[in-house]
Structure 1
Amino acid sequence: MTNAIKPFAFQTPGSLTVEWGGAQRLGALMSGWFEARRLLIVTDKFLNESGMLDPIRASLQEYGFAVTVFDDVVADPPEAIVESCAALGREQGCDAVLGLGGGSSMDIAKLAAVLLIAEQPLSDLYGIDKVKGVRVPLVQVPTTAGTGSEVTNITILTTGETTKMGVVSPRLYADHVLLDAQLTVGLPPVQTAATGIDAMVHAIEAYTGRHKKNPLSDVFAREALRLLAGNLVTACQDGSNRAAREAMLLGANLAGQAFSNSPVAAVHALAYPLGGHFHLPHGLTNALMLGPVLRLNMTEAAPLYAELADVVMGPSDEGTQGRAAAFVDFIGDLMDRSGAPRRLRDVDVPQDSLPMLARDAMLQMRLLVNNPVEVDEATALRLYQDAY
């Protein structure tokens, strides 16, 4: 007799389209998704000035879309970016939003879709389920294979010098997501490595989460990790490899759906202070903290690590502890081969800042409670020292 299934809920965007080159026919796709035609594209200056938007804009205009581009998105976006984005959209009468880019662009797009017509100020949206009313149609198109932001219901904003706050709501789920791996072909190797490892962290933490782990998120996490682990090095070494790029983008997407329903834990909690104080990319900070946290969690998560070892390495008769240790070693070797920085000292984090980082990590209790092993300030400091 099997164990009874614990109650769980699983939420995700309305539709997903996977198509190589699909961004070049976005007009045809989006014209069938909704009637709105005054579109606000949320992106960054690099993507806009690189020419990547040109064929996309042409396709949209061919199908009757009036396009307004907001390209002031930056990493770790502050509140002012959201406010100016929404203000531009209102000024131009926009009635739909397209997020195009990395996690920051897609996060800003989520809130812009709400704020274009919301009666609530941004300050009232922080927290869980604080967003009221409706929003305009929202489409997300990622250009990196990492954050999974296109399928999550959370936006993180920088609210002070180093502090961040989140908006979490089902209304932030996109109506439609397009995965066009052709858009990721120009991503440099180091960024490919960092974003790919970020996605692997999402899958691992979703699979080992203490509270909301569920059968469906497990399926997504396992398949995500299989795709990511099997293609990370190839994507870093041969960025034009279509099969590897497609596998990485789909893997990141599946990992995003997994952790949106079974939240992340200590890796992310320790990564956030690194990003806040030293302005390091989010994917890179996750990569730096993954190894130490995996080793810490071995005491509780070994059976689950052993299951993931079968996913990435194939079946084995090895015992649980040995198999779990092999998984941790496999992930470490994979990160080494990807070329991503592995030590805090390699990215100029001062050693005397580690106690401060440990204190700040304690502000992330909403994530730390999901970790298989309890993390207090002393433990956090040991993890930063391990990563140094």
Structure 2
Amino acid sequence: MTAFAFSTVASILSEPGAGARLGQLLAERFPGTRRPLFVTDAGFLATGLMEPARLDLQRHGMLPAVFSEVVADPPDSVVLQAVEAARRHGADLVIGFGGGSSMDAAKLVAVLAESGQALDEIYGIGKVSGHRLPLVQVPTTAGTGSEVTNIAIVTTGATTKTGIVASQLYADMAVLDASLTLGLPPRITAATGIDAMVHAIEAYTSRHKKNPLSDALAREALGLLSRNLLPACQRGQDVQARQAMLLGACLAGQAFSNAPVAAVHALAYPIGGMFHVPHGLSNSLVLPHVLAFNLPQAASSYAELADILAPEAGGSDEARARALIVATQQTAEMTGIETSLRQVGIAESDLDRMADDAMLQPRLLGNNPREMTREHARAIYAAAL
């Protein structure tokens, strides 16, 4: 058996309603905490769903502050504002409370608030050093898995997304509470859910660091997500379906944090960066076309995943792998989200620029089971048009 290493968050709690006793959880796990900082976005803050958690912190003798300026695909300027807010508050613990963007920003606040490092010094892999504040992540969407990953994505410049990967970005605790996701509209539920499915599929076929633990997590995640995505979209108040989606996204996050994602994400980044398409939808738009491109090298692995997504499929590995691709397309269609680039405002004249931008993601493309050139990327975008 090939040697491998596996890392993840030390403590994970999956329990509907757990957010409302966050103060109790922090007092038990991090005694002495007095000045925590919530990192979230204005839209989620306006829902009032974070208020029970904030009040419970106060009941346990803490003085929480809230930074709510996070935006989707946060630019470096917003991250720096959040770091400064933590310093002004004298934060002694950071809580990411929201979607992937809020949790990514929280990771960077935790590592930079008391650090001599600058943000632009830690872009890349393994460049974070020094002390980190305690970090707790509370996801409010079932998609990114950011609560259990060691990756943060920042928008640098006008449209380019840059990754930071370091062991210090793993949180100390993740709290999965489906009651915080009950207000998600069907479209967001669908896009984030398919995002999590992409994480599982890409982790299972990653060229580097694929291992038995990540494989087991990816398969379990894909089962949970595929069984519960449509119920969560159709019955938004179904707590059990929502909790299963949160757990599935978490397991997929653990999988791809150890067996990294690949070309689906590399080709999705220009869609989000240039056209402000949500990340999960960007992934969904290119997913079946990247899978089809990878088929010559990944048919056997895709066939194994087809046992989960398309169990009725039979025949050769290639036939079952193609059934997997069809199943991903049908899933997107059944949820009602967009299924072509034209539907999100992308034209053929944009494809060359997108292909150029996708090639700026060697960290991701290097994990793909089949080597991808710029010409391949453009052809995939054309197929998705």
* TM-score, structure 1 as length reference: 0.97
Letter in 1 for 2:357: D
Q: Among residues 137, 141, 148, which one is paired with 1:140 in the alignment? A: 137
Please give the secondary structure, in 2, of the residue aligned with 1:32.
helix
Find the aligned partners of 1:50 and 1:242 in 2 and give their Cα distance. Answer: 18
Give the deviation of 1:334 after TM superposition.
Answer: 1.3
Please give the secondary structure, in 2, of the residue aligned with 1:164.
strand
Residue number in structure 2 paired with 1:276: 273
Find the aligned partners of 2:329 and 2:120 in 1 and give their Cα distance. Answer: 41
Corresponding position: 1:335 with 2:342:
no
Corresponding position: 1:360 with 2:357:
yes
1:118-150 superposed Cα distances (whole Å, 9 cap, x missing partner): 111112111111111121100000000000111
Corresponding position: 1:165 with 2:162:
yes
Letter in 2 for 1:18: S
* TM-score, structure 2 as length reference: 0.98
Find the aligned partners of 2:315 and 2:4 in 1 and give their Cα distance. Answer: 32
Map residues 207-356 of structure 1 onto 2, 5 A cutoff.
Answer: 207-314=204-311, 318-356=315-353
* Contact 2:295/2:321 (<8 A) preserved: yes
Find the aligned partners of 1:359 and 1:345 in 2 and give their Cα distance. Answer: 19
Please give the secondary structure, in 2, of the residue aligned with 1:66.
coil
Q: Among residues 11, 17, 28, which one is paired with 2:13 in the alignment? A: 17
Find the aligned partners of 2:11 and 2:117 in 1 and give their Cα distance. Answer: 27
5+ residue gaps, structure 2: none
Please give the secondary structure, in 2, of the residue aligned with 1:294.
helix
* Contact 2:313/2:323 (<8 A) preserved: no
* Contact 2:70/2:78 (<8 A) preserved: yes
Please give the secondary structure, in 2, of the residue aligned with 1:117.
coil
Find the aligned partners of 2:73 and 2:324 in 1 and give their Cα distance. Answer: 32
Find the aligned partners of 2:11 and 2:342 in 1 and give their Cα distance. Answer: 42
Letter in 2 for 1:97: V
Please give the secondary structure, in 2, of the residue aligned with 1:71.
strand
Letter in 2 for 1:157: V
Residue number in structure 2 paired with 1:191: 188
Corresponding position: 1:116 with 2:113:
yes
Find the aligned partners of 1:9 and 1:156 in 2 and give their Cα distance. Answer: 23
Give the deviation of 1:316 after TM superposition.
Answer: 6.2
* Contact 1:288/1:343 (<8 A) preserved: yes
Give the deviation of 1:210 after TM superposition.
Answer: 1.0
Moved more, 312-321 or 41-50: 312-321
Moved more, 312-321 or 284-293: 312-321
Moved more, 282-291 or 309-318: 309-318
Letter in 1 for 2:71: V
Map residues 73-152 of structure 1 onto 2, 5 A cutoff.
Answer: 73-152=70-149
- Aligned residue pairs, count: 384
Letter in 2 for 1:234: P
